[in-house]
Structure formats: C-alpha cells, structure tokens
C-alpha cells in the first residue's frame, strides 16, 4: 500500500520541536518503530514523524486501520482526543486542541439542525419509534466543558481564546516555545501588533516588562471602588470627620483664650502708661 500524506492532517497538530524530534529519532534507531501507524484507508492519520524517520533510515513499521472514521471531521476529532491524552502536550496546546474540538462539534450541531429543519419543511415527520424518541446526546461545548476536556481552568481557556484572536504569530510562537506564560501572553496580546512584535524580539525579559506595564496601566485607569455603607472604611469616615471638628473647636478655644490674655496684657500696659503720665 502506498501511504498518502494529507497536508491538512499533518499540520493539524503542532509539530515536534527540534529536540523532541531528535529524541524520537534516537529512540526509533535504538528500539525500532514500536507503535503502529494509524491509517484511514491509505491516508496517514497518526505517526507522521515516525513515518518520516522510518522512511529516512529504512526502518520497518506496522500499520493499523481505523474503520470508525466516516469523514475528515471524525479523523480530526480522533486526533484531538488522542493528543489531549498525552502527557507531553503543553497547557497551551491542550487549550487550542480543546477549542478546535468545540468548533467542530458546534459546526456539526448547526449542520444537523439546519438539515432537520429543511426536511421538516418538506414533509411531516412520521410518528417516532420508541428508539427514536430517545433524545440524542447533547453536544457539550460550553467554556466549562472545553476547560474540562483540556484539564485547564475556564480563565485559562479565555486567555487562550484571546491569544488566538489578537496575538501576532510571533507572540503565539513565544507561548508555544514557553518563552512567555499564557497569562502574560494574553495581557501582551492587548497591545498593538507592532508593540507585540517588538516585545517578542526583546526576549523573555522584555515580554515580562510589557505585560507588567499593561497591568499597571489597567490598574491606574481602574476607577476607585466606593466603600459599602456598612464597610469598615465607610464606618470610619464619620469618625474621621468628627475628629476634625473636635480639633477645630479646640483650636478656636485656644485662640479665644490667647486673645483674652492679649487683651489683659494690653489693658495692663495702658494702665502703666497712664500712671507714668500722671507722675510726670
């Protein structure tokens, strides 16, 4: 059988890094190709790197057919689930794969609904049988479902979605390489594309600095929270105002007393002046 390579399937999963490919090649050269390549008819589904290494070094390999596939979407869903179960897949890669899975399932559900609506518009549906009355399994594609499939938090899934929509290819590659965290990358992705590219070019420290500056700017622009009526801050405010009034009253009393002292001294001086005038 002549194995066919589908470029879409080959590029569907992130390629191995140079170090990972070298490690796989070393393992196959030492132990042979232990895992069978998975085919859909004559199309290679799983094992592109193993197939390439075996072809290059003339190493024999086994193949197995997956007969459950009915469409390219089935193949892609199988590839996604297969990679989601691998420990070597990073958090970012798992999030991307889980989001791809959601897109496929939602598209399928929309197509099925449209097809059913079109058929219902043509003829009245027959009475359902007992088996047909059983509701089909609900397609679960909420953010919580995606996060559960990827073994990530919903917040991380939201950050990955933002990176996919707003990040430049350079920033996405930096996340894949582990140069910047998902959290920081989502923050930097809010910058204009030119600034993202410059931050990536500056390396890890520049990316961290860019994320820090964005967070500080957001904090500076965030309106101050008003304390609740029953909060300690709100309860302390009247006390502070009362304290200021008391201080002002004490200051008035002090000045009044001082004024009286000055008046008394002034009267005493007048008397002394008058006595001196009489003596002369």
pLDDT of 201 strictly over 80: yes
Question: Could you tell me if 105 and 138 are in contact, meaning their C-beta atoms sit under 8 angstroms apart?
Answer: no
pTM of the model: 0.69
Classify strands 37-40 and 43-46 as parallel, antiparallel or unpaired. Answer: antiparallel
Average pLDDT for 152-171: 95
How far, in Å, CA of 212 to CA of 204, rounded?
12
Confidence of residue 133 (pLDDT cuts 50, 70, 90): very low
Domain boundaries, the chain: 1-71, 90-111+140-164, 167-222
Both tokens assigned to 193: 């594309």
- Digit-coded pLDDT (tens) for 45-86: 999 999 999 999 999 999 999 999 999 999 999 999 999 988
Count Cβ neighbours within 10 Å for each residue of 184-211 and write b for 16 or more, e otherwise: bbbbbbebeeeebeebbeeeeeebbebb
- % residues pLDDT > 90 (the chain): 57
């Amino acid at each position: 059988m002549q194995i066919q390579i589908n470029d879409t399937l080959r590029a569907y999963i992130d390629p191995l890094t140079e170090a990972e490919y070298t490690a796989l090649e070393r393992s196959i050269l030492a132990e042979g190709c232990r895992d069978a390549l998975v085919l859909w008819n004559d199309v290679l589904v799983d094992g592109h790197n193993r197939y390439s290494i075996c072809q290059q070094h003339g190493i024999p390999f086994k193949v197995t057919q997956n007969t459950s596939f009915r469409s390219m979407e089935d193949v892609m869903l199988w590839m996604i689930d297969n990679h989601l179960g691998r420990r070597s897949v990073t958090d970012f890669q798992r999030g991307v794969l889980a989001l791809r899975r959601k897109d496929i399932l939602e598209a399928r559900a929309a197509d099925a609904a449209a097809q059913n609506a079109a058929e219902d518009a043509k003829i009245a549906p027959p009475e359902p049988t007992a088996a047909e009355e059983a509701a089909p399994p609900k397609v679960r594609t909420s953010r919580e479902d995606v996060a559960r499939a990827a073994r990530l938090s919903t917040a991380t899934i939201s950050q990955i979605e933002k990176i996919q929509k707003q990040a430049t290819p350079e920033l996405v590659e930096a996340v894949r390489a582990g140069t910047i965290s998902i959290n920081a990358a989502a923050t930097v992705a809010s910058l204009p594309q030119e600034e993202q590219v410059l931050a990536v070019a500056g390396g890890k420290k520049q990316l961290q600095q860019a994320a820090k500056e964005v967070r500080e700017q957001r904090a500076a622009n965030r309106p101050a929270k008003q304390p609740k009526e029953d909060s300690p801050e709100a309860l302390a405010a009247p006390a502070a105002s009362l304290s200021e009034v008391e201080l002002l009253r004490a200051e008035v009393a002090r000045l009044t007393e001082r004024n009286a002292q000055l008046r008394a001294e002034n009267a005493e001086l007048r008397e002394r002046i008058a006595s001196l005038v009489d003596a002369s």
